Structure 1
Amino acid sequence: MTFTVTHDPANSAACLTHTGPVDADEIKASRLELKDVANAQTVRGALINITDATIAAEPVEIIENVQGLVDDLHPGTKLGFVGRLEDQEIVSMIVATVAHSTGRRVGQFHALEKALCWIRLDWEAAAACDCLPITE
């Protein structure tokens, strides 16, 4: 499995980075580790970076795991996805499905720094910095 989970105290974020091929087993293992770091550090948000990954899991498997992650995070914790432009259609579906079904703040981004800014700041400050998600 090729993923790392880190705590970014400057942005109050738990960050998951996938590289290479990512299957359903890796998605589940990584979401559990991301949840553990996010909840232990009481972060404002969790970030999933798939810019250097190729997702091999089925969309329903991805949605189930993202839903499980959101359900396991402390209330109010944001969840951001950063992906390549060509992956945004799939990311949009995941974000829209999970945000609608959970009522949680889930957003998608093309740029890592914008995602971290959105996690770190409240809505008004993120809007002033042009750090709002593509989809909220």
Structure 2
Amino acid sequence: MTYDDCSWHSDTTSELGLDGDAAATHIGMFYAWAVANNLHSPTMAIWGEPGERTRPELAALFNRTKTPGRYLLDHCCGELNLSDLNPRGQAFTAAAYPQYLRAYGYIPEIARHETIYHAPDTWDTYEAVAPLLDEAWAEWRHHTA
């Protein structure tokens, strides 16, 4: 199952005259937050190969050496998928991602841009987005405990 995919936003980014990579920012912010909160899958299956391998590339998010959108493009094919998350992360994402998408554009740091796609793929943007996800996480945990 795919929660979001940059290609789903390509018509919009193209109409806005933006590079398609601009569609990775909002998805990458969510995934970087999931990684920071241990909701990610630490291993991944390699198509056509038996078993799974660890994901040392996650260090780029932990160490902030790659921005969230860039990471998503480089290591997740521009998608947020079921396999990117552990079971708890999957449950949270299934419940919270639609609300995240609706609320994302109202975050002051995002809303000051022409569209959500104009928001920069930076760690400052992540810092503005993280409190929204922290709040959603706390609410979700309260209702699922």
TM-score, reference length from structure 1: 0.29
Bigger Rg, structure 1 or 2 = 2
Q: Quick one: higher RCO (CA 8 Å, sep 6+), 1 or 2?
A: 2
TM-score, reference length from structure 2: 0.28
Higher strand share: 1
Higher helix share: 2
